[in-house]
Amino acid sequence: MSFHKIVMFIGPPRAGKGVLTSALQQVLGQENCANPQLSKLGETYALQELIGRRAAFINDARIGYRSDRSAIVETLLSISGGDPITISRKYKDAWTGQLSVRFVITTNEIPRLNDDSNALSRRIVPVVFKESFEGRENRGLAAEIAEERLSILHWALDGLARLRKRGRFDLPASATDFHRVLSRSLSGIGAFLADRCMFEPGARSLVGDVYDAYLAWCVDQGIRHPDTKEELGRRLATLGIEKVQERLGGRRPYFYVGIRLALDIDASTTEEEPF
């Protein structure tokens, strides 16, 4: 039985995420761990350090606007799904096989990734840190935990035995609630649709109007590099939203089928005030 899950430690700074990842690396042994950057997972040669490793600790999971977010998601899905993968290596032949590495992502906020299918969010086991100890840190905590690494290993093995017997991860209510936020945040287009559109069979919305609404939404969300109109169309297509060309007066503009802008809904349901 395989549990190719991605663990995400998320919470404010000085909440203990770094201390916990340090303890895990000591238990596993540094030779069994890798420390890749999330923003580079989609690049050539980025995965060669994961060969033969048991865990990959991604600290401060920030992604620049130049990063190929789709490639990053594809890489995480392939590895966490246990799929065979071909890895390019510098000055060596390419390596093909199944990586046994598990990802542990540490972040203060949910990274912006393009996962409109929500496949990635379903593979993430969130561990939410709610309290910051900034200004009152225990500077000796890491050393104290290091002395207990053998006990931590036995504790972890007991947990693994329970996991294998149960056959699944049981998440607390706090993690279940967080998963809803996570899936919405990883799918930027899903968040836009939830905020500014309604699904309605037979509805038609002009492509230009939808894109203008998307750009306005990006401004409100602080997204500095929104998708182009063509990129947005491709992402909507993955959700089954069809684009058609129809006659409108003397023109033949393109429409998205099955969605209506919330602004249009508000306008159509607003009654005039009597004089």
Mean pLDDT by 10 residues, the chain (275 residues): 78 91 93 93 92 93 76 91 93 94 91 78 87 90 90 94 89 74 74 87 93 93 84 84 89 93 60 37
CB 128, CB 10: distance < 8 Å: yes
What domains does the chain contain, in order, with CATH numbers?
6-172 (3.40.50.300), 187-269 (1.10.10.10)
Distance (Å) of CA 191 to CA 78, 112, 232, 265: 25, 12, 13, 18
For the chain, state the CA radius of gyration.
Answer: 23
The candidate with the shortest Cα–Cα distance to 193, out of 97, 132, 260, 249, is: 260
Widest distance between CA atoms in the chain: 81
Under a CB-based contact definition with an 8 Å cutoff, are residues 32 and 55 in contact? yes
Predicted local distance difference test score (pLDDT) of residue 275: 28
**What is the rounded CA–CA span in Å between residue 58 and residue 36?**
6
Q: Is the pTM of this model over 0.85?
A: no
Which tokens sit at 44? 């050539």
**Residue 57, pLDDT score:** 97
Q: Which residues, in sequence order, are CB contacts of 153 under 8 Å at separation 6+? A: 27
Q: Rounded distance, CA 28 to CA 222, Å?
A: 39
In this structure, what are the phi and psi dihedrals at residue 105, rounded to the nearest 5 degrees? -105, 125
**Total count of residues recorded for the chain:** 275
Question: How far apart, in whole angstroms, are the C-alpha atoms of residue 239 and residue 54?
Answer: 35
Between CA 10 and CA 110 the distance in angstroms is: 8
